Amino acid sequence: MINVIGLGYIGLPTALMFAAHGLEVVGTDSNSAVVDELVAGNITFKEDGLKPLFDRALAGSIRFSTDYQIADTYIVSVPTPYDKETKKIDASIVCAAVSTIVDVCSDGATIIIESTVSPGTIDRCVRPLLAGRSIDLVHAPERIIPGKMMHELIHNARTIGADNADTAQRVRQLYSSFCVGEITTTDIRTAELTKVVENTFRDINIAFANELARLCHEAELDVYEVIRIANMHPRVNILNPGPGVGGHCISVDPWFLVGDYPETVDIIRTARHVNDTQPSYVLHRIKEVMAAEDINDISRVGLYGLAYKEDVDDTRESPSLRLLELLGDDAARIQTYDPHVDAGRTQQSADSLSAFLERVDMVVIMVGHDQIRESMQMLAGKVILDTRHICDLPGVHSL
């Protein structure tokens, strides 16, 4: 039996996937509201394909509980925040989960950490909790991207970090029950660093695109045209500039490396700085566009999109929320709307796109949800600042 600890964005789909493929699974979460919701037959966040998977898992043998179970295998997928001051990982939630597992499990069990941790955390903080016990420890970092989780769970390559080949092989076999991607085995420390490096690579590349957008604005050049042409080179692939990097992964994981290797890292820290300051660059552009278009009243300006990216309801580290912080007192006056995020999240939140558009003369497109891509004509006649390059109406302003 598998006991999945932590039923958030990673733990829930993973638990459901194992159960839908015939394994006996209990999903455990310390938050009784989450467990109650799942027991009542409701999923706890929006994601394409999650509900059908949930239904398949319910038809199998999945159960949900706030209690840890006696199981052969534990999968730990709990949050790993970082200290905003020191930039170091706060592994206390992972450690608390592992301690509780060690209290309930029998010798011979396997504990798989899926949560992202900074390199060395497992040896430093987790392994000592197993002292004197015969328990196998594995790091199998998740790689799925919100918006395409179902597809990526099945098709992405995976990494299994283990202490010996037998354990690695056994865990590889387990994930093969649903994963058709290549499953590579390595040691735990390599698996830890690989995961953080993947997100850091993307952060650095997005930072480059964001810096290019600023540079092109200064040079009065079209950054999208520059990127389109540069990307025709066979070895160049520049990403998309945007309003900043949100989500709980790419905007967080590189800090683990900055926190642990402050004297060594340079590009990684700078990239974080560029991406973290992108919402303030957007604010600067909002002011420029307001001045150019003779708009003086911020309450006639609206932010479209509060989620950290398109077609998800996740607002963690969202550039829009950061922008609202930067607005200070004006945050209470600027209009906001996001079809996936509850109205009421901000003070001037509309509950439909048309209600939102009635209130504004200027729209700042912060997120490229399908909804706005499909309703772009409704924005005709508005002043538009498009941070996502999805609007081709005449006169649109870009980053």
Interface residues with ligand SAJ (CB under 6 A)? Answer: 116, 142-146, 198-199, 202, 206, 239-240, 242, 245-247, 249-250, 308-309
Q: Minimal distance in Å, beta carbon 355 to ligand SAJ?
A: 25
- 382 has catalytic annotation: no
Q: The tokens 């692939």 sit on which residue? A: 237
The DSSP code for 364 is: E
Of 1 and 197, which has the nearer Cβ to ligand SAJ? 197
Of 162, 166, 1, 172, nearest in space to 74 by CA: 1
Q: Rounded to whole angstroms, what are the CA distances from 364 to 49, 285, 303, 334, 397?
A: 30, 10, 5, 11, 9
Within 8 A by CB and 6+ apart from 314, the residues are 9, 45, 146, 247, 248, 307, 308
Residue number, 247 or 339, with CB nearest to ligand SAJ: 247
CB of 42 to ligand SAJ, least distance (A): 23
Nearer to ligand SAJ, 13 or 146 (CB): 146
Cross-strand pairs, 159: 184
Query: Among residues 105, 179, 249, 391, which one is catalytic?
Result: 249
Q: How far is the CB of 241 from ligand SAJ (least distance, A)?
A: 7
End-to-end CA distance of the chain: 51
Q: 140 or 249, CB closer to ligand SAJ?
A: 249
Instruction: Check if 195 is active-site.
Output: yes
Element (H, E) at 374: helix 370-374
State in angstroms the smallest separation of the CB of 116 from ligand SAJ. Answer: 6
Task: State the CB neighbour count (10 A cutoff) for residue 92.
Answer: 12
- DSSP annotation string for 378-394: GGTTSEEEESSS---ST
Residue nearest ligand SAJ by beta-carbon distance:
242
**Degrees (nearest 5) of the Cα angle 368, 369, 372?**
85
The least distance separating ligand SAJ from the CB of residue 303, rounded to whole angstroms, comes to 14
Judge residue 223's burial from the number of C-beta atoms within 10 Å of its C-beta, 0-12 exposed, 13-18 middle, 19 or more buried: buried
CB of residue 144 vs ligand SAJ: minimum separation in angstroms? 5
Distance CA 85, CA 81 (A): 12
Nearer to ligand SAJ by Cβ, of 63 and 143: the residue is 143
Neighbours of 54 (CB within 10 A): 22
> Rounded to whole angstroms, how far apart are CA atoms 126 and 38?
29
27 or 242: CB nearest ligand SAJ: 242
Asked whether 93 and 107 are in contact (CB, 8 A), the reply is: no
- Catalytic one among 87, 105, 195, 391? 195
State the minimum distance, in angstroms, from the CB of residue 342 to ligand SAJ: 19
Rounded CA gap, 335 and 337, in Å?
7
Specify the residue, 26 or 246, whose C-beta has the smaller distance to ligand SAJ: 246
Active site residues: 195, 249
